[in-house]
Amino acid sequence: MTTENSAAILPVLRKSAELRARIAAWRSAGDRIGLVPTMGALHEGHLTLVRRALDAGERAVVSIFVNPTQFAPSEDFSLYPRREAEDVAKLQALGADLVWAPELEEMYPPRFSTYVRVEELTDHLDGPHRPSHFQGVATVVTKLLRQVAPDRAYFGEKDYQQLQVVTRLARDLDLGVEIVGVPTVRDPDGLALSSRNLYLSEDERQRAGILPRVLAETADAAAAGVASLPELLRAARAALTEAGFGPIDYIQICDAETLVPVNALERPARIFVAARLGKTRLIDNMPVGRSNLP
Residue 140 contacts ligand PAJ per CB under 6 A: yes
Residue 185 contacts ligand PAJ per CB under 6 A: yes
Number of residues that bind ligand PAJ (CB under 6 A): 24
Smallest distance, ligand PAJ to C-beta of residue 228, A:
31
| 186 Cβ contact partners less than 8 Å away, ≥ 6 residues apart | 192, 193, 212
> Quick one: CA dihedral 98, 139, 251, 155, positive or negative?
negative
Active site residue: 43, 46, 124, 133, which one? 46
DSSP symbol at 268: -
For residue 195, give the nearest of 141, 143, 165, 159 by alpha carbon. Answer: 159
Nearer to ligand PAJ, 70 or 164 (CB): 70
Residue 67 contacts ligand PAJ per CB under 6 A: yes
Alpha-carbon distance of 33 to 247, in angstroms, equals 42
Residue 182 contacts ligand PAJ per CB under 6 A: yes
Residue 106 contacts ligand PAJ per CB under 6 A: no
Nearer to ligand PAJ, 31 or 187 (CB): 187
Alpha-carbon distance of 182 to 111, in angstroms, equals 36
Query: Which of 91, 98, 165, 192 touches ligand PAJ by CB under 6 A?
Result: 192
Smallest distance, ligand PAJ to C-beta of residue 125, A:
14
Nearer to ligand PAJ, 136 or 289 (CB): 136
CB of 138 closer than 8 Å to CB of 70: no
Smallest distance, ligand PAJ to C-beta of residue 69, A:
9
Q: From residue 17 to residue 56, what is the string marking binding to ligand PAJ with x (rule CB under 6 A)?
A: --------------------xxx-----xx-xx-------
> By 3-state DSSP, what share of the chain in percent is helix, strand and coil, each rounded to 5?
45, 20, 40
Q: Which part of the chain contacts ligand PAJ (CB under 6 A), choosing from 79-87, 186-194, 218-226, 266-274?
A: 186-194
Nearer to ligand PAJ, 122 or 237 (CB): 122
Q: Which part of the chain contacts ligand PAJ (CB under 6 A), choosing from 4-12, 153-161, 210-218, 281-289?
A: 153-161
- Whether 133 is catalytic is no
Kindly report each contact of residues 181-185 with a partner whose C-beta sits within 8 Å and lies 24 or more positions away, as own/partner: 181/155, 181/156, 181/157, 182/48, 182/49, 182/52, 182/154, 182/155, 182/156, 182/157, 183/157, 184/45, 184/156, 184/157, 184/158, 184/284, 184/285, 185/43, 185/44, 185/45, 185/48, 185/156, 185/158
Nearer to ligand PAJ, 143 or 237 (CB): 143
CA distances from 146 to 60, 140, 151, 177, 265 (A): 16, 10, 11, 10, 38
The residues of the shown chain that bind ligand PAJ, judged by CB under 6 A, are 37-39, 45-46, 48-49, 67, 70, 137, 140-141, 155-156, 158-159, 162, 182, 184-185, 192-195
Residues serving a catalytic function are 46
